[in-house]
Amino acid sequence: MEPNYRRCISCRRVAPKQAFWRIVRVYPSRQVELDRGEGRSAYLCPTQSCLQAAQKKNRLGNALKTAVPPEIYQALWQHLSNHQASINSKPRERIASDSEPDAGQNCTRCHSGFHRGTANPNSAEQQGECQNSK
Ligand SMILES: [Zn+2]
């Protein structure tokens, strides 16, 4: 294996280590951490199939020779869904919810709630203007 290449514990694919998640059994505390600390490391493709195999067949636990806390798997699943969300979907557009249902009564230019002079047929408000926009 070339330097900086690692092997996935699930599918045994070899790739540069940056392509993998790194799960570490930190020395000497034996805490399992994600991509943090020094100790015994396992590498896993950031894919659903490899994560599933690592969890169901306990490949991660076997590779690290320790019990992997469920929080680690939860965090990895979270990583996975975040990753896919950033690929598959655009950021959601905010739905404007601050406009009142009766916004049609507001001035079309200044959007203020006060539209003076509607009683005067000759006023500029007939063309959708109001004092605030001048
Ligand atoms: Zn893999």
- Name the pTM for this structure: 0.62
Lowest-pLDDT choice from 4-8, 9-13, 63-67, 126-130: 126-130
Q: Which residue has the higher pLDDT, 3 or 4?
A: 4
In the reported structure, the alpha carbon of residue 58 is separated from the centroid of ligand 1 by a whole-number distance in angstroms of 14
Task: State how far the Cα of 80 lies from the Cα of 76, in Å rounded to an integer.
Answer: 6
Query: Ligand 1 centre and the CA of 98: distance in Å?
Result: 47
Residue 104 has pLDDT above 50, yes or no: no
What is the model's pLDDT at position 96? 55
Query: Where does the chain have alpha helices with state H?
Result: 48-56, 59-64, 70-88
Query: 57 CA distance to ligand 1 centroid (A)?
Result: 13
pLDDT at 30 over 80: yes
Residue 17 alpha carbon to ligand 1 centre in Å: 12
Name, of 72-86, 91-105, 115-129, the range with top average pLDDT. Answer: 72-86
Sheet order of strands, 39-44 included: 32-34, 21-26, 39-44
Contact of 10 with 59, CB cutoff 8 Å:
yes
pLDDT at residue 43 greater than cutoff 70: yes
Residues 114-125 have a mean pLDDT of: 52
Taking the centre of ligand 1 as the mean of its atom positions, its distance from the CA of residue 54, in whole angstroms, is 9
Domains, the chain, in order of start with CATH, read: 5-88 (3.30.1230.10)
Instruction: Return the minimum-mean-pLDDT range out of 61-65, 72-76, 86-90, 118-122.
Output: 118-122
**Mean pLDDT (whole number) for 105-120:** 55
